[in-house]
Amino acid sequence: MMSRSNLSEQLNDWPPSAFSSSVFSPASSSSSRVDVVLVMWDILMFACLVFTGVSLYFRYLKFAFFLLLVTIVFLICMKITKQVRQNRKSMRRLLLPLSM
């Protein structure tokens, strides 16, 4: 059984490079991929909104409403996937043993 003082001594003995190598591991690259996908979704939504404004300017009302609908559907999908991802993350945290 480890006491708090032994644990704190072990943590103080670790070199800083051990922490940085664990932070920048290849496992964290999946979150950066998710960030890239989110940025692409944001750009796509922005482009849809811009094209909606342009089509309204040229009085293409059906096309403008279609693009507006597509943008709203994209936004709803992003909100749903974000909520699902947060729920999965919280469930994973609950499954971890308390000793971690």
- pLDDT by residue for the chain (100 residues), tens only, comes to 667 777 667 667 666 554 444 444 455 556 788 788 888 888 988 898 899 999 988 888 999 999 889 889 988 988 998 899 899 888 888 877 766 5
| Phi, psi (rounded to 5 degrees) for 81 | -65, -35
Comparing CA positions, the residue from 71, 65, 67, 66 lying closest to residue 45 is 71
Q: Is residue 42 part of a domain?
A: yes
Q: Is residue 23 part of a domain?
A: no
pLDDT at 16: 59
Q: Is residue 2 part of a domain?
A: no
Q: Is residue 25 part of a domain?
A: no
DSSP class of residue 46 equals H
pLDDT at 42: 85
Domains of the chain: total: 1
Which are the contacts of 67, defined by CB distance < 8 A and separation ≥ 6?
Answer: 48, 49, 51, 52, 55
Q: Is residue 48 part of a domain?
A: yes
Host domain of residue 66: 33-100
| Phi, psi (rounded to 5 degrees) for 3 | -95, 170
Q: Is residue 24 part of a domain?
A: no
pLDDT at 11: 66
Residues 44, 41: Cα–Cα separation, whole Å: 5
Q: Is the dihedral of CA 31, 33, 35, 41 positive or negative?
A: negative
pLDDT at 24: 47
